[in-house]
Amino acid sequence: MDWTQHRLYGIVVGAVLGALLGAILWSFGTGSRMGPWVTLLLLGAVIANLVVSQRMNAAIDRTVVQRAQAMAAGQVPGEPAPARVHRVYGRPLAQSATMLWPGTPEPARLALLHVLPAQGAPRSVYAVVPSRYGLTRGTPAAVVLDPAYPDIAVFDDRAPVETLAAIGADPRWLTERVPSMFTRQGGLGTLLASVGGLLFAALLGAILH
């Protein structure tokens, strides 16, 4: 997936929230009457961020489900890979797609998995998984990687118990470092923007004071 929009949005939000937080600290520190107003602006920014984030998450969900359905139906070939569940998101989905059940209308969740591809470095991928499987953090899994979308995979529920046990016992989980998704969504740029916004507000407040 193209994370450019997510990175830019994360950096902008970081800068805005940092500046507003700095303005609040300056206002209450100097006894300025602007403090409550800036606090309201910060609350508005947080609410707006939640709304936009929900829309972005919904777009990710749709893309993952669409690609999973295409791969599970055999329209797109993929690369099998061992995986381990890193996170299962709480927001419910109404559509699922696995290698055994392509395009199944049933309760599901979006999962973030760490994978060890045969070709390439370890990475994180999204997959939509039926809720009935009850996957939790650390659960070994088998997936099929999407060749066109490196961040997407299909949950492979054809894998036998012996294969899953071997995946869970793979010593590489203790030695291989998997880059965080936070890097693709802003990462250090977001943190620096937050600090920069905070310092800018503090400096501007000192000048005005």
Question: What tens digit of pLDDT does each residue of 64-117 get?
Answer: 988 888 888 878 788 899 999 999 998 889 888 899 888 778 899 999 999 999
Question: What average pLDDT does the structure give for the chain?
Answer: 82
pLDDT value for 119: 85
**pTM of the predicted model as reported, rounded to 2 decimal places:** 0.75
pLDDT value for 187: 64
- Confidence band, pLDDT 50/70/90 cuts, at residue 196: confident
What is the residue whose two structure tokens read 């199944």? 104
What's the average model confidence in pLDDT over 5-13?
A: 69
Question: What tens digit of pLDDT does each residue of 155-185 get?
Answer: 999 999 999 999 999 999 999 888 776 766 6
| pLDDT at residue 32 is higher than 60 | yes
- Confidence band, pLDDT 50/70/90 cuts, at residue 54: confident
pLDDT value for 202: 64
Question: What tens digit of pLDDT does each residue of 107-153 get?
Answer: 999 999 999 998 888 999 999 999 999 999 999 999 999 988 899 99
12-21, 22-31, 159-168 — which one is most confidently predicted on average?
A: 159-168
pLDDT value for 91: 87
pLDDT value for 160: 94
